[in-house]
Structure 1
Amino acid sequence: MESRMLRSTENALSSSSFCAKPRDATLSSLNRGQLGHPGLRVNAEQIGRNEEKLREFHDGGRSKYLTLLNLLLQAIFFGVACLDDVLKRVIGRKDIKFVTSFRDLLFTTMAFPISTFVFLVFWTLFHYDRSLVYPKGLDDFFPAWVNHAMHTSIFPFSLFETILRPHHYPSKKLGLTLLGAFNFAYIIRILWRYVQTGNWVYPVFDSLSPLGIIIFFSAAYILVAGIYLFGEKINHWKWGAIAKPQMKKN
């Protein structure tokens, strides 16, 4: 009987996790011991602590995190790359112009520079002071392998893609403009979320002055633009004449 009561109470709490008043009322009742069983009170307290820790993660939606946006971007890119390979085999052509061009544009202007940026900046700040980007409390919800899947594996996959397949880069003007547009859109997303909630996406911004934040964003774009140019150099070094004919020069 008590076991069934425990399961039903947990289900009720879970289903109302985004409804503050019902959840708070239920937790209050459990903590006062109105349902009697001490196991229910312990479980309710644990649920309350877990929801408090995850409140910051859910506030503003997952799109506020560059890491998750990057994972979505990587999934789209590798999906397009797979489609390109399948169509070439099915149709029997060496080049599917639109799909191949979109694949290369997506990889060169966003997938490679952003994944490398996430890898470099995250681990630099993590080893300097992890509380700036990944507070220790998140270890309760994301084991080490998940952290590495999100922030480490993205770099070698992008690097291997650069080395194993030639990509035709657009002109520097177009490439840096598209990359800058993505950078600007994400900054607007961060600022809008701060205006709406009063909280920064990453704790690192709490330690910066307004001028410091401007410098941080400017330095971030310089870094990601440098990564873009570095990727172009690697591509040309590895593939040379294969990639060069379709590369536009300013």
Structure 2
Amino acid sequence: MALNLKTVFHVLVFSWYAFVVQSMAAKDGEELPPGIFVYGGPWKYLTFLNLLLQMVFFGLAAASDLQDGKKTQSSLNKCKDLLFSVFGFPVGMFVVLLFWSLFAYDRELVYPASIDKFFPPWMNHAMHTFVLPILLAEVFIQHHVYPKTQQAVGALTLVGVSYLSWIVWVYLSVGIWVYPLLKYFSAVGLVGFFLFNMTVVTGLYVAGEKLNNKLWGKEIEQMSTKQR
């Protein structure tokens, strides 16, 4: 089977994310600044979880491209479309936008300068910058089938509440907030910050769907016609 641009892109990006995830996980055994990997290691950071999410998606996309069986390929397509549309695009874009917004305001709130000698610049950009152009390239390379907005928002909210519960659990267990910014919030402020973030993520989901429909409207319409 001849490889096309889409397949090569998916394989290369999957390999890239696998490398970045392995490099990030390897830091768990090093002597890092106090509190960085205490309780939960990298698994408590949304950045790391997003890297895993992107790696899994592009792995599924590559597998779908290389799959010859139509039935299996159809199942993979549904799975990867759901993963990309509901989580991959909005969460990935959110990580980039929130990180650099806070970094520009006061980096100590999200990425203290003491981390620089442990995480080289290329790793910082791999986690917080390159995600955005890769996601946009994916949107331009192929279309994705989106679920109903209510279902997507429900799934995002469930995942968001789960992650909030996880970082609160980490704080209650070891007395350290995953992100230094959170120590400045009261309980009510923390809830407000969470709701604000969920609004942003939801907006990114809607923006991703609109961009997908604008670029691939004809193809999506043709698919809908065939399924009738």
- Provide the rounded CA distance (Å) in 1 between the counterparts of 2:118 and 2:59: 28
Alignment check: 8 A CA contact 2:182 2:190 kept: yes
1:140 maps to what in 2? 117
Alignment check: 8 A CA contact 1:104 1:169 kept: yes
Is it true that 1:58 corresponds to 2:40 in the alignment? Answer: no
Is it true that 1:101 corresponds to 2:75 in the alignment? Answer: no
Q: How does 1:219-230 map to 2 (within 5 A)?
A: 219-230=196-207
CA positional deviation for 1:199: 1.2
Is it true that 1:195 corresponds to 2:172 in the alignment? Answer: yes
Return the match for 2:62 from 61, 73, 82. Answer: 82
Is it true that 1:73 corresponds to 2:53 in the alignment? Answer: yes
CA positional deviation for 1:114: 0.4
CA positional deviation for 1:121: 0.1
Q: Which entry has the higher C-alpha Rg, 1 or 2?
A: 1
Is it true that 1:168 corresponds to 2:145 in the alignment? Answer: yes
- Provide the rounded CA distance (Å) in 2 between the counterparts of 1:179 and 1:80: 20
- Provide the rounded CA distance (Å) in 2 between the counterparts of 1:125 and 1:172: 28
- Provide the rounded CA distance (Å) in 1 between the counterparts of 2:157 and 2:215: 26
Alignment check: 8 A CA contact 1:80 1:103 kept: yes
Return the match for 1:242 from 213, 219, 226. Answer: 219
| Matched length | 195
Deviations along 1:11-63, one digit per CA (max 9) or x if unpaired, are xxxxxx98xxxxxxxxxxxxxxxxxxxxxxxxxxxxxxx84x43312212211
Greater length-normalized contact order (CA 8 Å, ≥ 6 residues apart): 2
- Provide the rounded CA distance (Å) in 2 between the counterparts of 1:99 and 1:162: 17
SS of 1:55's partner is coil
CA positional deviation for 1:243: 2.3
CA positional deviation for 1:96: 2.0
Alignment check: 8 A CA contact 2:87 2:156 kept: yes
Alignment check: 8 A CA contact 1:235 1:243 kept: no
- Provide the rounded CA distance (Å) in 2 between the counterparts of 1:95 and 1:59: 41
Structure 2 runs not aligned, ≥5 long:
1-27
SS of 2:34's partner is helix
SS of 1:140's partner is coil
CA positional deviation for 1:94: 9.6
Alignment check: 8 A CA contact 2:33 2:114 kept: no
- Provide the rounded CA distance (Å) in 2 between the counterparts of 1:243 and 1:75: 26
- Provide the rounded CA distance (Å) in 1 between the counterparts of 2:71 and 2:170: 46
Alignment check: 8 A CA contact 1:67 1:118 kept: yes
Tell me which amino acid in the other structure corresponds to 1:132.
Answer: L
- Provide the rounded CA distance (Å) in 2 between the counterparts of 1:204 and 1:66: 14
Alignment check: 8 A CA contact 1:77 1:103 kept: yes
Instruction: Percent identity, please.
Output: 40
Structure 1 runs not aligned, ≥5 long:
1-16, 19-49
SS of 1:96's partner is helix
2:208 maps to what in 1? 231
CA positional deviation for 1:241: 2.9
